[in-house]
């Protein structure tokens, strides 16, 4: 058996699709797996240039890769291996996700004479990645309200605490508790209470800024984690969401009664001398002060350093 026949037999036995091009990007070889994956027979493509748009690779945004973004062209120019995720054109007309690897082909002197592209169907991997992302999203989302859950908030606190220790970026914890929530459940039933929780969560989510993190801490308690420069900015943000919630209401369908909603809010600024959990504890204590002072108000926690070094 001749060496080239042996090579062709090995390449045709590969499970991954493969084709080779010369310096002009003319396709010189197309293996059996490429035929099976794309629907194009070797006779359909050999002698044509890959830039003629047979596979017509595009990126995630639909931009063509057959021009300056071609991985084969790039690897022939600099001799570097390339890996890209793309969408190829099947002979039937549909787009299919493919994972592409391109490598240069060199002669015995080391001169680049062409390139080889190996590719495979990436739909299963992308589907699995999507399922993993969905599962993680579900694990970090409160199923009733749709905002983040306590686990997500704890991750956010760790990230903000790390940013503070590394880059001196301060943040605020805004601790909100729904006023007289038990009486809503007792008077109108738990379905009405669920609607109140969803109303507050939606208002907090939609009335905060990009970069703020909103989540349900537990029960009728919500946290807002906000990168801010100073306490005045934190208080203004807390007052804004308190007023927004105060202007909201939800309707109990059975009785056609509108329930007005208010929240009591505590605010604490992060400090270098305390953990994020301690900042949350100060915000919680400030929220309880707001409750004791008559509800539907905002109380700002004093700095930990002015409280005898402790945290309330």
The reply to whether 83 belongs to the active site is no
Marked catalytic residue, from 117, 220, 233, 251: 220
Count of CB atoms situated within 10 Å of the CB of 211: 10
Residues 6 or more apart from 241 whose CB is under 8 A from it?
174, 176, 203, 204, 207, 208, 224, 263, 265
- The overall longest dimension of the chain from CA atoms, in Å, is 93
Distance, in Å, from the CA atom of 154 to the CA atom of 138, rounded to the nearest integer, reads 15
Q: Known catalytic residues? A: 220
């Amino acid at each position: 058996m001749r060496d080239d026949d042996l090579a062709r037999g090995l390449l045709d036995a590969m499970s991954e699709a493969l084709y080779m091009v010369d310096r002009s990007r003319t396709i010189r070889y197309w293996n059996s797996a490429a035929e099976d994956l794309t629907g194009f027979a070797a006779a359909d493509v050999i002698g044509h240039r890959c830039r003629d748009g047979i596979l017509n690779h595009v990126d995630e945004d639909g931009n063509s890769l057959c021009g300056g973004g071609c991985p084969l062209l790039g690897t022939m120019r600099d001799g570097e291996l390339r890996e890209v995720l793309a969408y190829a054109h099947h002979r039937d007309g549909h787009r299919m996700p493919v994972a592409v690897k391109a490598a240069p082909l060199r002669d015995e002197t080391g001169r680049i004479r062409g390139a080889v592209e190996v590719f495979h169907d990436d739909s299963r991997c992308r589907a699995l990645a999507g399922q993993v992302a969905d599962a993680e999203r579900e694990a970090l989302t409160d199923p009733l309200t749709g905002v983040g859950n306590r686990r997500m908030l704890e991750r956010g606190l760790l990230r903000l605490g790390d940013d503070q220790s590394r880059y001196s970026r301060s943040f605020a914890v805004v601790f909100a508790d729904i006023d007289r929530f038990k009486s809503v459940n007792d008077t109108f039933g738990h379905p009405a209470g669920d609607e109140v929780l969803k109303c507050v969560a939606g208002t907090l989510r939609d009335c905060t800024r990009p970069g703020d993190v909103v989540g349900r801490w537990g029960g009728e308690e919500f946290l807002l984690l906000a990168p801010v420069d100073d306490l005045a900015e934190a208080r203004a943000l807390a007052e804004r969401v308190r007023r927004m919630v105060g202007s909201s209401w939800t309707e109990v369908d059975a009785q056609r009664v509108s329930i007005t909603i208010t929240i009591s809010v505590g605010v604490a600024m992060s400090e270098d001398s305390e953990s994020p959990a301690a900042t949350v504890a100060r915000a919680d204590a400030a929220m309880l002060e707001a409750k004791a002072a008559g509800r539907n108000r905002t109380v700002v926690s004093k700095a930990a350093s002015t409280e005898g070094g402790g945290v309330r």
